[in-house]
Amino acid sequence: MNGKMKILKTFTRAFYVAGIFLFVSCSQFNNEVPQKLFGLPHIAIEMREDDFADLRKNALVNEYAAITIEKDGVKKTGKIRRRGNSSRYYPKPSFHIKTDEGDWHYVAQNADKSYCREVFANIIFEKDGDFLVPKTHFVALSINNVYQGLYISREPIDEKFFERRNVKINSLYRITMSGAFTFKDGRNSSMSFEKLIPQSSINYDDLNILISALDENDKERIKKILNIDNVAKYSFMCSSIYHIDGITNNIHICNTKNDGKFQIIPYDLDFTFGNTREDGFVIPTNFPKFENGLLEKAEDIYLSENDSITGKLLKREDVVFNTLHNIDNIIEILDSLKNEFSQAYKFDPYIQGENLGEHIAEIKTYIRTKLNKF
């Protein structure tokens, strides 16, 4: 009986998903592409059907296909490919798009059924004021007049990212999987980091100076090349919102020309505010650090030079939420985000059957638990 019910549920969901695609595609947007869809900015992509089929089928291939893309009533030519690492193994694809205006990412939040975590965490980092934060917002995306679902529009960290902010940099690095800020155990910087800017250079000298200072625990040298406020607060924030991906995988670190110091750019914040597993929602109690103490060293220096606030900051759970002033403000922000994209979520063919309210309630539970307010 259980097997039959499971099969029936599978077929029911398949027919429902097909119906959603049919509902949106048959309208053909009245032969005119609307600038808004389900109340969100509409990203309308057109491409050859064969190319689209290849794009869906070949998840691990980074080959681009030609497209036209229309947003805000303006149509441009460009090209599209799949993006992501582990996310490529989910049914709903994420995309990397190039136009003459630059690159942009449209991210399927497969790991976060609330669709709120990344945008909400970005708001927190922005409100602190010490971070360069990629722009993120919700969009409704269609391909060949067929609604593909709710997406996060995310600004990539590249040359144009810094140009838009009038920030000049010497270099930009991204940590690789299992990379670390150390030369111990035979490591070198090119093993642990990919140099993104300038791509034409294989010179890691500035990063090598930082890693050497960290390995030697030379605080004065560290202070000369590391933006202590930025990195210490990043560590506090990551601890508070449980951004574990932000210390092991998604670190982008740039060296700015104005002071010659490195700072961290928050990025890809979907694994935050607790974990949803098969056995339910879990609020982790321990937060890992780098083995060589990059984040701890920045914290120690920051706290030693700010004695008057040491006691307050040592209670890390309070740091991020003090930035947003109070619990009510946090809940208001989450509820506002939910209202913004709830219709696009409801009709997203890839997340049928999900309860948006329950998923957002998990984030609220995490916040209340961390603040000991129930």
How would DSSP label each residue in 99-113? ETTEEEEEE--TT-T
Residue 325 has a pLDDT of: 54
Element (H, E) at 298: helix 294-304
pTM as predicted: 0.87
User: Contact 38/24 with Cβ under 8 angstroms?
Assistant: no
Using CA of residue 244, residue 250, residue 256, residue 262, what is the dihedral sign?
positive
| Winning range, highest mean pLDDT, from 13-17, 171-175, 284-288 | 171-175
> What would the mean pLDDT of 174-197 be, rounded to a whole number?
90
Give the pLDDT band of residue 4 (cuts 50, 70, 90): very low
Largest Cα span, the chain: 70
H-assigned helices in 129-173: 159-164
- Whether 322 has a pLDDT exceeding 80, the answer reads no
Using alpha carbons, select from 326, 152, 297 the residue that is nearest to residue 235.
297
**CA dihedral of 58, 64, 69, 72, whole degrees rounded to 10:** 100
- Whether 24 has a pLDDT exceeding 60, the answer reads no
Residue 313 has a pLDDT of: 47
- Whether 3 has a pLDDT exceeding 60, the answer reads no
Residue 307 has a pLDDT of: 62
Q: Which two tokens stand for residue 184?
A: 């111990």
Domain layout of the chain by residue ranges:
2-154, 167-323
Q: Which residue type does 364 have?
A: K
Cα separation, 295 vs 144, whole angstroms: 46
Q: Which two tokens stand for residue 283?
A: 């609020």
Exposed, middle or buried, 361 (CB in 10 Å: 0-12/13-18/19+)? middle
CB atoms < 10 A from the CB of 230, how many? 22
Task: Scan for tokens 């000049």, then name that residue.
Answer: 168
> What would the mean pLDDT of 243-261 be, rounded to a whole number?
89
- Whether 284 has a pLDDT exceeding 90, the answer reads no
Residue 236 has a pLDDT of: 84
CB atoms < 10 A from the CB of 365, how many? 15
CB atoms < 10 A from the CB of 342, how many? 16
> What would the mean pLDDT of 227-244 be, rounded to a whole number?
88
Q: Which residue type does 91 have?
A: P
Give the pLDDT band of residue 219 (cuts 50, 70, 90): very high
- Whether 155 has a pLDDT exceeding 50, the answer reads yes
More confident residue, 340 or 308: 340
- Whether 189 has a pLDDT exceeding 50, the answer reads yes
